[in-house]
Amino acid sequence: MRLSTLTSLTSDAANDIDRDDFDNRLLQHRFACDVVIITLFKTCEMDICIDFDGTCVTHEFPKIGRDIGAAPILKALVAKGHRLILFTMRSDLDPAFQARSTHPEIVGDTGTYLTDALNWFHSNKIPLWGIQTNPLQARWTKSPKAYGHMYIDDAALGCPLVRPAQGRPFVDWGKVGKELEERGLI
């Protein structure tokens, strides 16, 4: 008996059906769904949002930080067909901009901070599909959050980090690369 038929039966008729048979069919159905979902997850090309400072390089804002091994992994993702979106608080600030914060981490001086990050991708030959936003999301949302299937960000809970003796933690690309491999994404 088909599961769709089974679920449409009245309670009296359902009582006539062997309970074990029903449970077995339900388990098979669920297993089949899980296989489809896992297969899709492992093979689909993803939109992946990437933070910059502390993620692609060490934290040295407003400068560009040191290499931490991000470039080969990002290239591998692109080679697998995934689309990278730079998702960073960096922006180019013109002289007309006036920062309204005295927070020590916030630099309100004029500078090409976003362009500097874009140049890092360019010099490392890593193509970006989007900058600060998913190019297709305006078709279905007005949200300012960049849409991605995955986010790699040193500030994200659970992101593997290297914790140097001095300075801020940064993404552990050795561990991230291994996890991406295990998921079949690179």
b/e sequence 97-111, b meaning 16+ C-beta within 10 Å: eeeeeeeeeeeeeeb
Closest approach, Cβ 168 to Mg ion, in A, equals 9
Cβ atoms of residues 97 and 110 within 8 Å:
yes
Alpha carbons 174 and 21: distance in angstroms, whole number = 47
Cβ atoms of residues 180 and 78 within 8 Å:
no
- Positions touching Mg ion (CB under 5 A) are 51, 53-54, 154
CA distances for 65 relative to 70, 117, 129, angstroms? 12, 10, 22
Cβ nearer to Mg ion, comparing 85 with 184: 85
Closest approach, Cβ 153 to Mg ion, in A, equals 6
Closest approach, Cβ 11 to Mg ion, in A, equals 56
Cβ nearer to Mg ion, comparing 54 with 148: 54
Cβ nearer to Mg ion, comparing 30 with 145: 145
Cβ atoms of residues 170 and 154 within 8 Å:
yes
Cβ nearer to Mg ion, comparing 54 with 177: 54
The residue behind tokens 């050795």 is 174
Q: Strands 92-93 and 111-112, how do they pair?
A: antiparallel
Closest approach, Cβ 76 to Mg ion, in A, equals 21
Cβ nearer to Mg ion, comparing 2 with 163: 163
- Measured at CB, which residue is nearest to Mg ion? 54
Q: What dihedral angle (degrees, nearest 10) is formed by the CA atoms of 104, 105, 106, 107?
A: 90
